[in-house]
Amino acid sequence: MQIQTLAITLLTTLVASVQATVTLGSGCSGSGYDCTSTFNDIAVCNGAQWVLAAKFLEWGMGIDG
């Protein structure tokens, strides 16, 4: 029974972490960081809203940067 509970807990945590993305400009509180909903940028919470912290470069994709 404990192994089943542990497996369900781990699976739930994994699904939640995969789905956890943010939209730039949306509201937040406290501090933290996360991927944006496009998975192309890193956002930080400034205590009021999610703002751009870093932009990923796509090397080898024909994109100049």
What is the model's pLDDT at position 47? 94
Would you kindly state where each structural domain of the chain is located, as residue ranges? 21-65
Band of pLDDT at residue 14, cut at 50, 70 and 90: very low
Query: What ranges in the chain are assigned the alpha helix state H?
Result: 2-19
Rounded average pLDDT over 17-40: 83
Distance between CA atoms of 19 and 49, rounded to whole angstroms?
19
Whether this prediction's pTM lies above 0.85 is answered by no
